[in-house]
Copies of this chain bind each other. A is one copy, B any other.
Amino acid sequence: MYRNYKLNELRMENIGEEVILSGWVSKVRDLGHFTFIDLRDRYGITQILVNEEVSGKELFEEARKLKNEWVIKVTGKVAERSSKNKNIPTGDIEVEAKNIEILSRSKQLPFEIDETGNLNENMRLTYRYLDIRRPKMLNNIIKRNDMLFSIRKFMNENGFLDIDTPILAKATPEGARDFIVPSRINKGDFYALPQSPQLFKQILMVSGVDKYYQLAKCFRDEDLRSDRQPEFTQLDLEMSFIEQEDILNVTETLAKQVFKDVTGIEITENFERMSYDDAMNFYGSDKPDLRFDMKLIDLSKETQNCGFGVFENAIKDGGNVKAIVAPNAEKFSRKYIKDLEDFVKTYFKAKGLAYIKINENGDINSPIAKFFTEEKLTEITQKLGIKNNEIALILADKYKIVHDGLGALRLKLGEELELIDKDSFKFLWVIDFPMFEWSEEENRYKAQHHPFTSIKQKDRKYLDSNELDKIKTDSYDMVLNGYEIGGGSIRIHEEELQEKVFEKLGLSKEEQQDKFGFFLEVLKYGVPPHGGLAFGIDRWLMAMLKENSIKEVIPFPKTNKGQDLMTGAPAEIEENILAEDLRLKLLEIEKEN
């Protein structure tokens, strides 16, 4: 037997008991005639006392030689501590060792388990097994478990069936982003790892399953960012015979329950709702962070004949003039403003960033003020509602540049001026997304969400018009603190409408058959109205735990280059396995390193 107590369990009432404990040596303090060992496991820490008198000289000498992270088994008696530690639940007692058995030694660690500072990320990923011993990381792993179980409990209580769909699936049209898997039995053919179980969950509705959920692994072979991973976990759910409101209700209740189970905080009020148009117009984002205000202010009316050519032309060209107003104007040095301008120029192709700054004493400081009459300037500042020691940052450009640029600037200033209440959590529904989005690159319409999204009844009339932009969908994203944590829609359940949408997306009948033939067939056999939602588990948990990277909440994440530093995946494969088993040959590769 290795233990009869875990290391968070012993209390005053156990005093006098003979116990067996096992765990990792977390600290050894040699105090001359005594040695104290902090013994650690997943559950806590218990102090071991090795006393020359009680434990014997031999054991005492041995104990002094123990090193951090060795695994030992201790037999001994529980005793009251002379100096108690109120910070840990076992702080009133210690165990006087009668025997210590070394179960496993450890060589010097690349970093300390109790290190709380910033560790090199690659080091942490290479030694993830040591990283997980660190209390913060272990806690994240435990919180992930709690979250997953909380979700399952809720889904189970609400009649959703847990159904697993294939990982070895068929390539989707966005084939370029699929991971593909050559088949040995069917040489020359390939599976694809699913980007999501979208079609399978719709198929399950056609199967009459009524309510489905799955915590599904999904895969995307694309360049990675700090909140992207090649494989990620999704809570996928779908319901039949429902309307949008039903889905919002059940998932909002779910989100509150999960939030409570993970953070301990109860949310009673309903989530705010905002249309996609409002989110874009007021926050320059389809996932606004509502922990602070700073809305975009539309100056288009005030500036259309303002005398300043840059503004006037932007309006004339069909664009906008918009501004955000920030406090602490005194912090906006010429240098800082220049940095902000570079930011919107670099990332959003803005042509420039105008500003109107009102000093503490009410003086106006603005290079563009000279273009305006005093009246016009007053009109503008009144519209801005700008006060002393505030600054308005103004973009005049095409819709996308103005809104994306100001949206990003708003978030940047929120961080840098510390306007965000980091203790608060703001949930939000963004609804009514457009169906189509014009792609400049591809010179065609693309589906903003996906092509299975149902079109609002009132907008179906635009399907045969030139105004596809006007078409809104029954769709919804759940946003937490500026992160999109989930999104979904009511789906198309009519075969004809589905074909029409494919057609508008530029798919010929033949391409439709090629790519979605089997699904169009499914739609011929009695399809219930249905809809659903998918949550990104990793990002959702990251937001709840206020982490900055999903790597903090994924047990074994890949690097931004898709590598597992611990195991060395991906790796080369022997040429003959490729050739014989799979009939594949590697072409020459230009190494970019």
Interface residues of A (CB under 8 A from B): 1-3, 22, 24, 40-43, 69-71, 103-107, 109, 127-130, 132-133, 138, 141-142, 144-145, 148-149, 152, 156, 161-171, 175-176, 179-193, 199-200, 203-204, 206-211, 217, 219, 221, 223-224, 230-231, 233, 241-243, 493-494, 518, 522, 524-529, 555-556, 558, 561-564, 566-574, 577, 579, 581-589
Contact B583 A584 (CB under 8 A): no
Q: A588 to B40: give the CA distance in the assembly, Å.
A: 59
Q: Which residue of B lies closest to A185 (CB)?
A: B562
Q: Which of B181, B186, B210, B526 contacts A561 (CB 8 A)?
A: B186
Contact B561 A104 (CB under 8 A): no
Give the number of copies in the complex.
2
Contact A587 B579 (CB under 8 A): yes
A187: chain B residues at CB < 8 Å are 589
**Majority secondary structure, A binding face:** loop
Q: Which residue of B lies closest to A163 (CB)?
A: B555
Q: How far is the CB of A111 from chain B (nearest CB, A)?
A: 12
A188: chain B residues at CB < 8 Å are 572, 586, 589
Q: A222 to B136: give the CA distance in the assembly, Å.
A: 41
Q: A189 to B555: give the CA distance in the assembly, Å.
A: 23
Contact B208 A138 (CB under 8 A): yes
Q: A224 to B182: give the CA distance in the assembly, Å.
A: 16
Q: Which of B190, B209, B569 contacts A169 (CB 8 A)?
A: B569
Q: How far is the CB of A71 from chain B (nearest CB, A)?
A: 5
Q: A106 to B494: give the CA distance in the assembly, Å.
A: 11
Q: A90 to B503: give the CA distance in the assembly, Å.
A: 45
A207: chain B residues at CB < 8 Å are 128-130, 132-133, 138
Contact B210 A556 (CB under 8 A): no
Q: Which of B163, B526, B564 contacts A69 (CB 8 A)?
A: B526
Residue pairs across A and B with Cβ atoms less than 8 A apart, 11 shown, are A69-B525, A109-B525, A129-B525, A132-B204, A175-B573, A179-B181, A181-B570, A182-B182, A190-B570, A200-B556, A203-B566
